[in-house]
Structure 1
């Protein structure tokens, strides 16, 4: 296994991690921003008011995007398993 193969695997791993975490993180960010705006407008500073909607929104995002996330991860894993013999033999494939 050479340096370019290791860098390629590392890059693919980081890209798949970013793709899989994006729906959950963006959902939490948008809901958190909306709740913070609502709290600043109404001057209600209740901690559970920001926590509970985020949890519900993240759960909905996981329900909606979960199948796609699993499909992406299975595809990535299959690709890595298919490349493993070539990597162990020293060829890039």
Structure 2
């Protein structure tokens, strides 16, 4: 495995981390904005409400996307380990 392959694998890993974290971050951000708007309109300024709602939505998002995330991570790990195994040959 040459330096170019290592750089390529590192780039793929960073892209994979970005893609896998995007659904949870996006949902938490949108829910945070909506909860903040509702809190501003109703003048309820309790921080635990926003935290609990965002936490529940993030958990639901993880539960809905865990199969896809697992497949993507396992695919990357398998490719990486195959390349490492080919180094000895």
Please give the residue correspondences for 1:1-93 in structure 2 after superposition, counting only pairs within 5 Å. Answer: 1-86=1-86, 88=87
Q: Deviations over 1:39-91 (max 9, x none)?
A: 111111001110110011011001100111001101111111111133x35xx
Give the paired residue count: 89
Secondary structure at the aligned position of 1:6 is classed as helix
TM-score by length of structure 2 reads: 0.90
Q: Where do 5+ consecutive residues of structure 2 fail to align?
A: none
In the alignment, the residues of structure 2 paired with residue 71 and residue 85 of structure 1 have an alpha-carbon distance, to the nearest angstrom, of 21
Segments of 4+ moved more than 2 angstroms: none
Secondary structure at the aligned position of 1:45 is classed as coil
State the 1:3 CA deviation. 2.7
In the alignment, the residues of structure 2 paired with residue 49 and residue 59 of structure 1 have an alpha-carbon distance, to the nearest angstrom, of 15
Q: Where do 5+ consecutive residues of structure 1 fail to align?
A: none
Secondary structure at the aligned position of 2:45 is classed as coil
TM-score by length of structure 1 reads: 0.87
> Cα RMSD (Å) of the superposition?
1.5
